[in-house]
Amino acid sequence: MAPSLTDFESDMNATHIIPALFALSACIYTAPLDPDATEGLNTIAGSVIINGTRQLGPTFILVYDADAPPPPEGSGRPVSFAAVPQSAFNTTVDGLIAADYAVPNLPDGEYLVSALMDVDNDFHPTIASGALAGATCGDWLGAYVADVLNPEFTSVMVQNGQLQDDVTLAVAQKVPLERPAFYLPESPTVSRAIAGSAPSTPQLFTLQSTAIHSTAGVDLTGPYDGSEPCDTAFAVVVYDRDGDGQPDAHPDPSLAARGALDIWPEIYLQYLGEPDGSGGFINELEPGEAYLGQGLIIPDFLSEDSFPLNTTVLLTSLQIAWVPGAIHQLPNRNSTTVTNPLALPPGAWSVTAISPTGQTWTVPNGLSAFESTDSAFTPESQATLLFVE
């Protein structure tokens, strides 16, 4: 039987409430508060309070569009973020440690605000194409919530050059697991033609956990061997929300009709185009246009009668079934659903795993351009792709 993490369940479930990070695409703002901000450029500010640890690190304040929350609730990316240096916290007090923050230059809108304290100093949002922009094991997470007893994201509305300076962030949840770092063995290929002519034939590929030891500035140990929960692995949860002792069907009716179950991690795909030989991709997409697909975990591990439901289990390899369809996101932010496999664009697709904690990993990523600091890690593994032919 795969090892379960009952000793870590309470921490994991709490961390699920306050999401971690998706890939970041923004700049670090360090400008001070500006009460005379130009109309339409608003500021969200306040205090970030650390509760539960005195082991500090730099803290990043992340602002999301309220309509696009971060994982695991959504797949949104920060629209802006700011950094609070470790030296800004007053550590001479006996009680809670706090520091001020400010995120200026925000357009009118409604936002969610979260925080990540980078205890091990390996959060580098501008390095390796965002591969290092994620919470790692031992970091601390927080957010702006209305009720600490029911800690759900609370939105903040700003408009007309407003300074909203009373947004307090409580950093109180330690990340108990590592990011699900992985690679795709042999860069697999799936076929649109087979999907069209034999739709009941599953087309599978594998996600394999890996350690990460890179001169980019990150060291993740692993894969998980049953002894150290901070090793890289997939945090797998098979849900039985109705308590009938059986895995639930997938919450998406169209996927449930395929026999899919309610299992995390969630696996997402995104069309990139044809590799250009220099690490980039050639495609005909317009700005803001994207094809977003999905993979489904093959629950072969459920053949073990003792596999626990509603419990986090760390696995180092997952079999994934390609779903031959996609959401076609249009430049005007509308979208259509592509159900004909032959209407999907052929070429390379990225693969992203999103853990129940909200932690993510995507291949390909920029770590392939950096040298390894340990023979256990091959940087080229982070350039692997899923090909659709």
The confidence score (pLDDT) of residue 219 equals: 94
pLDDT, tens only, 46-57: 999 999 899 999
79-96: average pLDDT: 89
Distance CA 58, CA 55 (A): 11
Structure tokens at 129: 């194409």
Distance CA 234, CA 139 (A): 18
Domain with CATH 2.60.40.10 in the chain: 21-174
The confidence score (pLDDT) of residue 75 equals: 73
Q: Residue 237 belongs to what H/E stretch?
A: strand 234-238
366-381: average pLDDT: 95
The confidence score (pLDDT) of residue 90 equals: 85
CA distances from 33 to 143, 162, 164, 175, 385 (A): 20, 11, 10, 31, 44
pLDDT, tens only, 275-314: 998 889 999 999 999 999 999 999 999 986 689 999 999 9
The confidence score (pLDDT) of residue 314 equals: 96
Residue 213, pLDDT > 80, answer yes
pLDDT, tens only, 3-33: 445 444 434 443 333 333 333 222 332 333 3
Structure tokens at 279: 């690490």
Residue 264, pLDDT > 50, answer yes
62-75: average pLDDT: 86
Q: Which pairing describes strands 156-158 and 169-174: parallel, antiparallel, or unpaired?
A: unpaired
Model confidence at 34, pLDDT cuts 50, 70, 90, reads: very low
The confidence score (pLDDT) of residue 192 equals: 98
The confidence score (pLDDT) of residue 29 equals: 28
Q: 21-174 falls under which CATH superfamily?
A: Immunoglobulins (2.60.40.10)
Distance CA 58, CA 60 (A): 7
Average pLDDT for the chain: 87
Q: Which of 369, 385, 352 has its CA nearest to residue 181? A: 352
Residue 340, pLDDT > 70, answer yes
The confidence score (pLDDT) of residue 292 equals: 96
Residue 170: count of CB within 10 angstroms of its CB: 21
241-269: average pLDDT: 94
Asked if residue 104 lies in contact with residue 33, where contact means CB atoms within 8 angstroms, the answer is yes
Residue listed under structure tokens 């032919």: 389
Asked if residue 161 lies in contact with residue 49, where contact means CB atoms within 8 angstroms, the answer is no
